[in-house]
Structure 1
Amino acid sequence: MAIMLATSAHAQEASSNVLTSAEASESGDIVVTAQRRSERLQDVPIQVNAFGSQTLQDAGARNVQDAISLVPNMTLDRANVYHSSYITLRGITQIENADPPVAVIVDGVPQTNQRQVNPSLYDIQQIEILKGPQGSLYGRNAEAGAINIVTKAPTNNLTGAWNASYGNGETINVGAVLSGALVNDVLLFRVGGEYAHSDGLIRNTFTGDNADFVDHDYTIRGRLIFKPAERLTLDGRIEYSDFRAGSNYYSAVFSADANDYRLPQNNLEGVSFGNNTNYTMKADYDLDFATLTSISGYSRVNEDNYSDLDFRNPVQSPGGFLGLGIQIGVGQQLLSKIFSQEVRLVSNGSNRLRYSIGAYYLHTARGYRTRVFVDLTGSGDQQFNPALVISDQFTHDDNNSYAGFGQVDLDLTEQLMLTGGFRYDVDEREQTNLLTGLVRRKSFKKAQPKATITYKPAEGKLLYLTYGKGFRSGGFNTPNSAIPIFQDESLDNFEAGFKTSFADGALRLNGAVFRERVKNFQYFFVDATSGSQVIANIDRVNITGVELELQAVPLPGLTANVGIGYTHADIKNFGQFPQYAGNKTPRNIPFSSTGSLQYRGTIGSNVTGIARVDYQYNNKKYWTIDNNSVQNSWTIINGRLGVETGGFGIYAFGKNLTNAKYYTEYQPQAYTGEDVDLGFRGQPRTYGVELRYSF
């Protein structure tokens, strides 16, 4: 069992499975860009999990959630609307309609909206997951860590690939990509797209339909690199996606037991639909001593949804919402426009003094409307009938953020390095109630220093001590909320870690112990009676944790990874509810472990075989501040078998093979305004076959 536990990047014999040969050092070590420059993973004084395109393919990872499932002390839960996700890292968790605690960066551009933090990993070069505050390098919202995603770059040679898979629930995924040169070494292109459809697997027991259906979800992406001069590189990317899928399929849990796994029974089927557009332009200019980089990004996020809000039906629950004899529904419209601009200067080479400095600007314009209505017909269109609307919240939020940042590395000796980082954020927020004209304004500011001392006693050995401050901005709840403004959250992280390598990299053991002191810990609940989604603060939280990760290559072609994580998040001071002092924080999982065992090698003439098992174990999950709703431990096991020859590959896969039952969100009635607990079911067992071809 121990050899099946796992996480993170593979030790090499499989380092070609982690990053491409262009990104691997001559010794075969894993190379990452976690500190904005190419470095050996084992030389970076940060706990980093790195996965390259081959590793992601071998693990069957289709999105960031799948990659995070390979990392201890970290989860990404899907709940609520189709694209809504909740990241939790080292006890710091995502809040609905607020900034994420983990910066998600795609090709240098931050993804600041909650609907953007779980992008598809199709045609991805690599993904790096950094733990601990990373504001001096990765900017806004890097309070608990950062996820750095790099898409595959265009190539001179004409290359391409396609894949298609079919699984239970009539689930279809197809994708294709083509790359080449319009003018060799001067103008390179890459275009690709993917499409998904599923009839779903989670049955609505009232309608008989599957609540988690995906009518369609497709993405088209294009990228162009232009090198007009030897020193200048321009890199542009455009992406468009469109979707329509099941939404808000919460189950009514009448027993009020977080381990009573019920199916949805709603009479009003939830649906999300919308589209997203992303534009990116990056310019690099080589100044010899440093590289000057400009990164501009624009995103338009549009998502509408409607669903049941009492999460029952008039046949089985004739008493209706709060026993009033009525059924209610909710409709929401979100439109968010995001522009970001970053300029930075990064030193070239491996001199004793290395630096990265820059400035950042972000503007977000967000319109959000929520209507709660009496449900008479089971149709989402009822939200537009004024006679049926019982609550209407319509706000427009403007956010302007400014920041300056920098980080310096100084080699004091060959074995000793000192790192200093700093970031200062100013977050100016304005909210307009479009129904009343009321305008609210507030600014949030925070300095975020970081200091690290790194000692390398011998080749393949590293010790580090680090301190860093993390920051997540505050903001506004809906105008009629009992808590109109929630405060900014900050943490002080004290961490000691080590990295070791033995047997020419065939065995690696990395680990860290950390202590976080959090001020104004943000947590979330829903008030169904007013249609409000509310964010509030816990005054003080202390978090203590440990991480250990082992990567091994015991035999040629055989790789094993083991990872464990422990997080104790303790409420120290809670002025609003002093009786909860000493409790665990919401969504806290005290212990988790992950693992993989994979064989990739020749099994015949020009035939490569692959067999892989992934394992994820989560200890009890504490859903709420009162700790009354606790989900028992659960285990997810995934598997994949395949053969490859001549550019072709055929694979059989399965996820959640034991069909474990669990909730990805659980809300007791005390925190929802409902008269029943609500649970959001995790995905049941899925299985299927996949074909791939590349040239």
Structure 2
Amino acid sequence: MKRITRLSAIAAATALLWSTAQAQEAPPPPAPADDAQPAAGKSALEAVVITAQGRRELLQNVPVVVKAFSAKQIEDAGIKSTQDFVNMTPNMSFDNSFTYGNSFVVIRGVSQINNADSPVAVVVDGVPQSDQKQLKMNLVDVARIEVLKGPQGSLYGRNAIGGAIVIDTKSPGNALEGFAKVDYSSGSTRELSGGVSGALVPDTLMFRLVGQTKGSDGQIENSYLKKNVDAVGHDNLLRGRLTWMASDTVQLDLRASTNTFRAGATWDALIPDGDLNKRRSPSSNVLGKTEGYADELTFKADVETGLGTLTAITNRAKLREKFVGDGDFGNPVDNGITGAAQRVQGKDRRTTLTSQELRLTSPGNQPLRWIAGLFYLTKTMDFEEKSFADVNGDTAQYDTAPVLRYNVFKNKASAAFGQVEYDLTPATKIAAGLRYDRDDRERIDTLNAGTRVDASFDSWQPKLTMTHKLGADALGFATYSTGFRSGGFNTTAADQPIFKAENLRNIELGYKASFLDQRLMLNVAAFHSDSRDFQYFYIKLLANNSLSGRIANIDRVTIKGLDLDLRYAPLAGLEFDAGFGLTDSRITANAAEPSTVGNHTPKSSPWKATFGAQYTTALGDGLNGFARMDVEVRSRKYWHPDNILVSDGMTLLGARLGLRGPRDRWSVNLYGKNLTNKFYYADVNGKTYNGWAAPIVAIGSQAAPRTVGIELNYKL
């Protein structure tokens, strides 16, 4: 692995030197006016615009490793959820398990922890999504997705230790337009979405209204109950946006959304022998369920001043997720992790978030450019937990069962940040960023006389980047960046009440270039990161047979790797995209478990490769045919610090075949995901970290099997 990392760095450096030899100094281009536009040349690649650094820039001009998806790419690839675009992003994975809204994301070896801060900042329409349950989402009417890799703390804050995800939905405009989409796929999955946009007062007051409803009978059968565990009763979304151009210098946006859902939960299967590559079905006698909602209201104001654009964003969100399911994952015939004791578990998690951000951004057409801002967040989470003996296998038992734990978690987070960018020469620029984050946290144990414990965590997060243009179509960059993930409290205080904050430092060397008249794009970067107090999550079985989610720390982790992204359009209508991610994430110090030193970190995969090919051809009378294939190759995955439980690598295949009408007014697409019906677990928990005495070695949450479907789209 060391040799591979050295070769990666040598390859990146060689590319830089080769381009320097051919370079001609060129000033940076002006900020583009459109989100995406064709570059020069008949078969040139689409020029994608991103906002990763707080202003509109071409993807190829930004000295950050970014996997970006334009509106056209989102439509072509059939991206409809968080899972879809993460599958296409190297050095990143996303797994949905345990409840309908629960997910684990891993980016460059830094992993998600349940009921705490994510390793990646998620920003939707400029609003930080400050709760883990906001990561899994249905993507409807989306204009752009950006995945920034590496610490982005100076601009994005405490959750950006591994990177950031920036999602922008489509904006309202003057033109009256709309869309409708019907989707039917395996498991009798039904999805209907639509929207309308236009002007109430031309050039002054515009609106956009979007809705979606989804339901499914599911595909993963419980072998004991003979019912599907992944059924979706409903998943309904309604989102509205009103934009008021109050004057030539003032734009006001009001956005509101509501999402309600009801679906399955706790569909883990028992794995008696620890073989993670053998098909096992859930066999619990309790059919779990998840229900909840997410309501959000945002007000945004952009005011042009003599100094720059002043932006104020106020957000209020209320989230709830309640689940009830099997607590032993077995049944009266086949014992689960608690032996013969049959258990039911459940949690009711209610969260309220209020955030305010003020940001001042200088004009982009001057040698010295800067961003400065303040951020404040208050968060309250009521967390009720129950675990009790199973009497009749019915989830209704939860309503009358005694409360096991009831904690109230409070968090006040504040930050000040800034970034300065300066053109040293027409070809060379330097950027420096700095952010200070402080988290004040409190846990109130309401069942223990309201016992309160509190702690504060803070960190300075500097970032420094040097960028040099290597000609009109190439640049090289070197970056030092840092990230911070706050510590906090576990839900049980007896043996592990608090977990420490995690800090990460990263050094990166990157290269971006376009060749062959903009028909070939190559981006590559090598990185080396050092993490202190690396956070990881596991589930522990307590003496009373209740399950408790735990967050713990590993003293030190070293991460080395490579990111490569390539797109190529050899001729009009034909396009290829490929990516490769290498992440060697190793434990280098762990006083709690010295035997794990040298092991891979939890939930990490050493490498991942992606490949896509699509072709569009005219069929006559304004009709176009479309075909796309996607291949994702994953390496082995290590689930716990002891590296005992390991999933084999795999190859996942997807495809789309469609017909499009004149000016893309309508389209019909056939699609398939996981076409070879590969069986694998999206999440695994083993007895070595969970502490159960039963012979069951592990439990695993099955990922979605093969899915095929048809979608019909119509645009006004």
Does the pair score TM above 0.5? yes
Q: 1:353 aligns with which of 348, 368, 380?
A: 368
1:385 is aligned to 400
Moved more, 646-655 or 174-183: 646-655
Mapped pair 1:327 → 2:313: no
Aligned residues: 671
Contact 1:309 1:528 in 2 (8 A): no
Mapped pair 1:488 → 2:506: no
Q: 2:481 aligns with which of 468, 471, 478?
A: 468
For residues 376-420 of structure 1, give each alpha carbon's deviation from its aligned partner in whole angstroms, at most 9, with x where no partner exists.
10112223434xx5x711100110000000111100001111000
Q: 1:202 aligns with which of 220, 224, 228?
A: 220
State the AA in 2 paired with 1:438. T
2:8 is aligned to none
The secondary structure found in structure 1 opposite 2:688 is helix
How much has 1:672 moved relative to structure 2?
2.1
2:195 is aligned to 177
1:628 is aligned to 644
Mapped pair 1:231 → 2:249: yes
2:27 is aligned to none
Quick one: distance in 2 between partners of 1:292 and 1:611? Answer: 44
Mapped pair 1:555 → 2:568: no
Quick one: distance in 2 between partners of 1:604 and 1:271? Answer: 50
For residues 463-506 of structure 1, give each alpha carbon's deviation from its aligned partner in whole angstroms, at most 9, with x where no partner exists.
11100110000000023442110000010001001011111210
Contact 1:321 1:328 in 2 (8 A): no
Quick one: distance in 2 between partners of 1:24 and 1:429? Answer: 46
C-alpha change, 1:483 and 1:459, in structure 2 (3 Å) is same
Mapped pair 1:606 → 2:634: no
Mapped pair 1:666 → 2:687: no
| Structure 1 residues not aligned, in runs of 5+ | 1-18
Mapped pair 1:339 → 2:354: yes
How much has 1:39 moved relative to structure 2?
1.0
Q: 1:419 aligns with which of 412, 416, 431?
A: 431
Quick one: distance in 2 between partners of 1:508 and 1:393? Answer: 54
Contact 2:347 2:385 in 1 (8 A): yes
Quick one: distance in 2 between partners of 1:155 and 1:248? Answer: 44
Contact 2:195 2:211 in 1 (8 A): yes
Mapped pair 1:62 → 2:80: yes
Q: 1:596 aligns with which of 612, 615, 626?
A: 612
1:363 is aligned to 378
1:3 is aligned to none
For residues 60-117 of structure 1, give each alpha carbon's deviation from its aligned partner in whole angstroms, at most 9, with x where no partner exists.
1111221111110001111111011111100001001110010000011111111101
Mapped pair 1:457 → 2:459: no
| Structure 2 residues not aligned, in runs of 5+ | 1-31, 41-45
Moved more, 19-28 or 432-441: 19-28
Quick one: distance in 2 between partners of 1:293 and 1:569? Answer: 38
Q: Within 5 Å, which residues of 2 pair with 1:143-162?
A: 143-162=161-180
Quick one: distance in 1 between partners of 2:263 and 2:684? Answer: 21
Mapped pair 1:615 → 2:627: no
How much has 1:23 moved relative to structure 2?
4.1
2:185 is aligned to 167
The secondary structure found in structure 1 opposite 2:69 is strand
Mapped pair 1:528 → 2:534: no
Quick one: distance in 1 between partners of 2:146 and 2:300? Answer: 20
Contact 1:433 1:479 in 2 (8 A): no
Mapped pair 1:396 → 2:408: yes
1:644 is aligned to 660
Q: 1:443 aligns with which of 456, 464, 478?
A: 456
Contact 1:286 1:292 in 2 (8 A): yes
State the AA in 1 paired with 2:391. L
How much has 1:603 moved relative to structure 2?
2.1
State the AA in 1 paired with 2:510. G
The secondary structure found in structure 2 opposite 1:29 is strand
Quick one: distance in 1 between partners of 2:419 and 2:616? Answer: 40
Contact 2:47 2:59 in 1 (8 A): yes
Contact 1:523 1:586 in 2 (8 A): yes
C-alpha change, 1:658 and 1:26, in structure 2 (3 Å) is closer
Quick one: distance in 1 between partners of 2:633 and 2:600? Answer: 19
1:540 is aligned to 556
State the AA in 2 paired with 1:567. T
Mapped pair 1:24 → 2:40: no
Quick one: distance in 2 between partners of 1:498 and 1:592? Answer: 20
Q: 2:443 aligns with which of 431, 436, 445?
A: 431
C-alpha change, 1:414 and 1:339, in structure 2 (3 Å) is same
For residues 579-638 of structure 1, give each alpha carbon's deviation from its aligned partner in whole angstroms, at most 9, with x where no partner exists.
111111001100110111011232222001110011111100001100011100011111
Contact 2:327 2:547 in 1 (8 A): no
1:8 is aligned to none
Moved more, 284-293 or 509-518: 284-293
1:687 is aligned to 708
1:14 is aligned to none
For residues 205-243 of structure 1, give each alpha carbon's deviation from its aligned partner in whole angstroms, at most 9, with x where no partner exists.
001011000010010010000112111000111000111
CA-atom RMSD in angstroms = 1.4
2:97 is aligned to 79
Moved more, 667-676 or 34-43: 667-676
Quick one: distance in 2 between partners of 1:113 and 1:289? Answer: 33
Quick one: distance in 2 between partners of 1:145 and 1:21? Answer: 25
For residues 544-577 of structure 1, give each alpha carbon's deviation from its aligned partner in whole angstroms, at most 9, with x where no partner exists.
0011111100111111011111100110100101
How much has 1:24 moved relative to structure 2?
3.2
Quick one: distance in 2 between partners of 1:481 and 1:145? Answer: 33
Mapped pair 1:92 → 2:110: yes
Quick one: distance in 2 between partners of 1:260 and 1:576? Answer: 32
Moved more, 472-481 or 85-94: 472-481
Contact 1:641 1:652 in 2 (8 A): yes
Quick one: distance in 1 between partners of 2:688 and 2:338? Answer: 13
Quick one: distance in 2 between partners of 1:494 and 1:108? Answer: 27
Quick one: distance in 1 between partners of 2:140 and 2:337? Answer: 43
Quick one: distance in 2 between partners of 1:363 and 1:205? Answer: 44
Moved more, 566-575 or 47-56: 47-56
Quick one: distance in 2 between partners of 1:457 and 1:52? Answer: 26
State the AA in 1 paired with 2:352. K
State the AA in 2 paired with 1:133. P
Quick one: distance in 1 between partners of 2:353 and 2:612? Answer: 38
1:583 is aligned to 599
Q: 1:478 aligns with which of 491, 497, 507?
A: 491
Contact 2:55 2:364 in 1 (8 A): no
Q: 2:55 aligns with which of 23, 34, 37?
A: 37
Mapped pair 1:272 → 2:284: no
1:218 is aligned to 236
Quick one: distance in 1 between partners of 2:39 and 2:645? Answer: 52
State the AA in 1 paired with 2:189. T
How much has 1:450 moved relative to structure 2?
0.2
The secondary structure found in structure 1 opposite 2:222 is coil
Contact 1:371 1:531 in 2 (8 A): no
Contact 2:158 2:483 in 1 (8 A): no
1:514 is aligned to 527
The secondary structure found in structure 2 opposite 1:499 is strand
TM-score, normalization by structure 1: 0.95
Quick one: distance in 2 between partners of 1:48 and 1:569? Answer: 20
The secondary structure found in structure 2 opposite 1:505 is coil
For residues 146-178 of structure 1, give each alpha carbon's deviation from its aligned partner in whole angstroms, at most 9, with x where no partner exists.
000001001101100000011121110110100
Moved more, 306-315 or 19-28: 19-28
The secondary structure found in structure 2 opposite 1:30 is strand
2:4 is aligned to none
Quick one: distance in 2 between partners of 1:516 and 1:498? Answer: 18
